Amino acid sequence: MADTDGDGLNDGGELIAGTDPWDTDSDDDGITDGYEVSKALNPLNYQDALEDKDGDRIPNLYEFIRATDANSAASKPAADYTVNPAGGGTHTTITAAITAAKSGVNDCRIILVKPGTYTEAMLDLSGKRIMLMGEQGASPPVISSALASSCITAKISGVVIDGLVFTHNVLYFNGWSGIHVDAPGYHSQVRLVNCVVRDNPCASGGVILAGGEVLVDHCTVVNNRGDETTGEGGTGRGFYVSDDSYLRLRNSIVWNPTSSPSVPQINIISGGQCTVTNSIVLGGEQGGTNLDPQVDRFGNLRPTSPAINPVGGVTLPVSLTDIHGETRTNPPDLGADEHRDSDADGLPDAWETRFFGNLAPTAPPTRTQTDLPQRKSMPSAAIPPSQTPMLTVPMTAPSSPPAPTPGTPTRMTTPC
C-alpha cells in the first residue's frame, strides 16, 4: 500500500492510527508518524516528544532525530560534547560547549557535563535544541551563578536539562531565578529531569516559566527564596508561572520555607497553568502532598523522608537512574535523589560516597582532608564539642557495628 506522505507509515496504517496520510507528523511534535507508531509512541499526542520511554535519559525526540531506538535503553546516542574543567573533554566551560552546539549544522546535540562547580554567566540555550546532561555520580555538577541573573535560560522548544544542580552564591536580588524558561510557541516544550534547584535567593524563586510547556520530572526544588512581593519578575518561591506557560510537575519536591507565608510555592499568573502529579508541595498547593520531605542541604533525601517509596506512588515514564546514577525502584522516590542504602547501615549510598568515598560503615583509612574542602578551612574551634572532629574518627571499624538509629546517622552536619 502506498505511503502518500512518505513518513514510513503506509496509508492503511495511517487510517488505523488515526493520523493524517498527507502529514508526516500529525501531532507536530517533531517525530514522524511512522517512527511513533513503530515505537508505540502516540502519533496524536505531542506531549510524548520529551518523555523518555526506555528510561535511558535520552528523550524520544532525540532518539528519533539521532536514529536510535526509543524502546531500548541499550540504544542511545553518545554525547556530542563533553565539558570537563580539568581538561580531557571537548571543552572546559559549558558556555563554550553550548556555543559549539549552536554553531554546528546538526540539531538535538547532547552536552555531557562532568562534575564541578561552574560559575559561568547565565547559560543561554537557544537557536538549536540542546540537551544538557550532567554526569551522574555522588557529587553531580553544580551551576552556581555569582551574578544577578538566572543560572540558565532556555529559549527554544526541545531543550532538555538533566542531572544538574542550580544554585546562587550571591545575596538576594530582584528578578530572575535558578532556571528561566522562555520558550513560547505552538506545542513548545522544555524538560527538566533529575535536577536540584536550591538556594536561589531570587525574586522569582527556583524556576521562572515565561513561555512554553515545561515538564518537570523528578526534580527537587528546595530552599529558594522568592519572597519579594514587588520584584520585577514577580514572585513564587518554587515556581513562577506566567505568560500562558504551563508547568507539568511530576514526581517532584517543592519545599521552600521562608519568612513570608503569603508568597506561594507555585505562583500562577497571567494565563499560566499548572498540573501537579505525585509530588510534595509545601502547603499542599496545587494538589501536592504537604509532608516535610526531609531533604538535606544538597537536595538528598534523609532516611526517614516520606518521599521514599511514596504511598500511592504511580508508575510513570521515569529515568532508570537518579541524579547520582543510582537505579530507581518502583515506586520511584520523589525528587532528584533515589534513596539507596545498599549495605543497610542506615546511611544513604550517595551520602557515604560523597563524604567517605565508599560504603564502609565508618571512616575509611583512605579518607584525607582533601576530600573534605568545606571542613578543611573550618577552624577546629568551630566544631561543636558534642561532635567528634572528622579526622579523629577511629580508623578501624568494629567487626559488627551497632545498627544506627534511623534518621540519626553518626555525623552528617556540615558547615553551611
- Helix (H), strand (E) at residue 351: helix 349-356
Q: How far apart are the first and last CA of the chain?
A: 67
Nearer to Ca ion, 320 or 412 (CB): 320
CB of 128 to Ca ion, least distance (A): 20
Nearer to Ca ion, 1 or 381 (CB): 1
Which positions from 308 to 337 touch Ca ion by CB under 5 A, shown as an x/- string? ------------------------------
Segment interacting with Ca ion (CB under 5 A) among 27-35, 153-161, 195-203, 274-282 = 27-35
CB of 51 to Ca ion, least distance (A): 8
Nearer to Ca ion, 40 or 381 (CB): 40
CB 187 within 8 Å of CB 28: yes
Range 42-46, long-range pairs (CB < 8 A, 24+ positions): 43/9, 43/17, 43/18, 43/19, 44/17, 44/18, 44/19, 46/187, 46/189
Nearer to Ca ion, 10 or 92 (CB): 10
Among 5, 228, 285, 338, binds Ca ion (CB under 5 A): 5
CB of 247 to Ca ion, least distance (A): 20
CB 204 within 8 Å of CB 225: no
Q: Does 345 bind Ca ion (CB under 5 A)?
A: no
Segment interacting with Ca ion (CB under 5 A) among 18-26, 146-154, 272-280, 325-333 = 18-26
Nearer to Ca ion, 110 or 254 (CB): 110
Segment interacting with Ca ion (CB under 5 A) among 35-43, 217-225, 269-277, 306-314 = 35-43
Nearer to Ca ion, 3 or 292 (CB): 3
CB 269 within 8 Å of CB 242: yes
- What whole-number distance in Å separates Cα of residue 402 and Cα of residue 8? 62
Burial of 344 (0-12, 13-18, 19+ CB in 10 A): exposed
User: How many helical (H) and strand (E) elements, i.e. helices and strands, does the chain have?
Assistant: 6, 21
Count interface residues toward Ca ion (CB under 5 A).
Answer: 14
Among 37, 50, 51, 52, binds Ca ion (CB under 5 A): 52
Among 48, 228, 333, 349, binds Ca ion (CB under 5 A): 48
Among 27, 135, 326, 333, binds Ca ion (CB under 5 A): 27
Where residue 89 falls (left for φ over 0; alpha for ψ -120 to 50; beta otherwise) is beta
Segment interacting with Ca ion (CB under 5 A) among 28-36, 226-234, 360-368, 387-395 = 28-36
Nearer to Ca ion, 5 or 213 (CB): 5
Q: Does 156 bind Ca ion (CB under 5 A)?
A: no
Range 407-415, long-range pairs (CB < 8 A, 24+ positions): 407/302, 407/303, 407/304, 409/303, 409/346, 409/347, 409/351, 410/347, 410/362, 411/387, 412/296, 412/351, 413/387, 414/297, 414/374, 414/375, 415/374, 415/375, 415/378, 415/382
Q: Does 31 bind Ca ion (CB under 5 A)?
A: yes
Q: Does 25 bind Ca ion (CB under 5 A)?
A: yes
CB 155 within 8 Å of CB 124: yes
CB of 107 to Ca ion, least distance (A): 16
Among 29, 333, 345, 349, binds Ca ion (CB under 5 A): 29
DSSP state, residue 355: H
Q: Does 9 bind Ca ion (CB under 5 A)?
A: yes
Task: Tell the residue number behind the cell numbers 528519533, with chain if given.
Answer: 64
Coil, helix or strand at residue 83 = strand
Ranges within 54-93 binding Ca ion (CB under 5 A)? 54, 56, 58
Name the CA radius of gyration of the chain, rounded: 22
Residues at the interface with Ca ion (CB under 5 A): 3, 5, 7, 9, 25, 27, 29, 31, 42, 48, 52, 54, 56, 58
